[in-house]
Amino acid sequence: MEKLDYYLSQNKIPNLIFHGSAGSGKKTLLNQFLHKIYIDKRVLEEQVMRVNCAFGKGIKFIREDIKYFSRMNTHCTFKSVVLLNAEKLTSDAQFALRRCIEQFSHNTRFFMVTSDKYKLIKPILSRFSELYVSSPVNYHLQQINKVYPFQTYETEQYERFQQYMKRLNAENIAELADALYQGGHSAMDLERYVEESDLDAKEKYAWLMQSSKIRAECREESLLLYILLSLFVHRSNSQVHFFI
C-alpha cells in the first residue's frame, strides 16, 4: 500500500493496473484504495463504476455505458471506472477504451485488475501506472493443489463457441462471425479451437501463423473473426488471400 498511499498524499492519482496471479489480493487492495479515496460510502457507490469484463463486455459497452458514466457531472475531484478481468476485453474494445481514457482524463480515473497484463494492447499499458501484487505465502499450511470439476463462465463460454463451430460452413461465415461477436467471443477463442483440434500439424500451424499476422494488422474484432473463420473454412486453398 506504500505506493498507493504516496499517490493519495500527493493528491495525484494516475490510472492504475493491478496485475498478478489469481488469488493474490488485487481486487481487495484496490477496494481498500477506493475506500481511502471516497471515504463516504454513499459517495463511493455514486462515483465508482465497476465492470466485470469476463461477461462479454465489448466495444458497444465501452462506447455507450462507460462514456455515459464519464460524461456525468461529479462534485468530487474525479470519478472512477474499475475494470475487473481486463484481459478479457476484445481488441476493438481496448482501442475504444483507450479513446475514452484520453477523452475523460480530466474527470475520470481508470483502474484495471488483470491476471495477464500482456493481453492488453500497448497503447493501454502506456497510459497506466502498474502495480504488481504478489501471491501471499502461507508458512503454516501445506499447500495442496487440487482441480475440482466445476463449470466456470469461461468453460461454458468456450463450450458455446464449440457448438457454433460445428455449424460453420462456406455459406454462413458472415452470419456466424456476427453471432460469435455479439456473443462476446473473440479471435482468441478461434485460435484455441484450432490449437486443440485434430488438424494435421502442418496445416494447423500454417493457419496459426497466418492468424498471428492478420491479428497484428486488423483492429476490428468482428472483421477479424470473419477473416479468420474464412481462412479456417478455406484453409486447404492456397490461393486465398486477405488484404487489411
Structural domain of residue 228, as residue ranges? 153-233
Instruction: Note whether residue 240 is domain-resident.
Output: no
Query: Are 113 and 165 within one domain?
Result: no
Percent of the chain with pLDDT over 90: 33
**Alpha carbon distance 225, 211 (integer Å):** 10
Instruction: Note whether residue 139 is domain-resident.
Output: no
Query: Are 97 and 179 within one domain?
Result: no
pLDDT at 57: 64
Of the given ranges (123-132, 133-142, 160-169, 197-206), which has the lowest mean pLDDT?
A: 133-142
Query: Are 58 and 157 within one domain?
Result: no
Of the given ranges (6-10, 108-112, 211-215), which has the lowest mean pLDDT?
A: 211-215
Model's pTM, two decimal places? 0.57
Query: Are 50 and 123 within one domain?
Result: yes
Reading the block at residue 40, the C-alpha cell is 463516504
Query: Are 34 and 128 within one domain?
Result: yes
Instruction: Note whether residue 140 is domain-resident.
Output: no
The H helix count followed by the E strand count for the chain is: 12, 5
Query: Are 164 and 95 within one domain?
Result: no
**Mean pLDDT for the stretch of residues 61-65:** 82
Nearest to 175, CA basis, from 233, 109, 243, 105: 233
Q: What is the CATH number of the domain that holds 99?
A: 3.40.50.300
Query: Are 60 and 95 within one domain?
Result: yes
Instruction: Note whether residue 1 is domain-resident.
Output: no
How many domains are there within the chain? 2
**Mean pLDDT for the stretch of residues 139-157:** 57
CA dist 156 → 139, 164, 196 (Å): 35, 13, 16
Query: Are 17 and 77 within one domain?
Result: yes
pLDDT at 209: 85
Instruction: Note whether residue 188 is domain-resident.
Output: yes
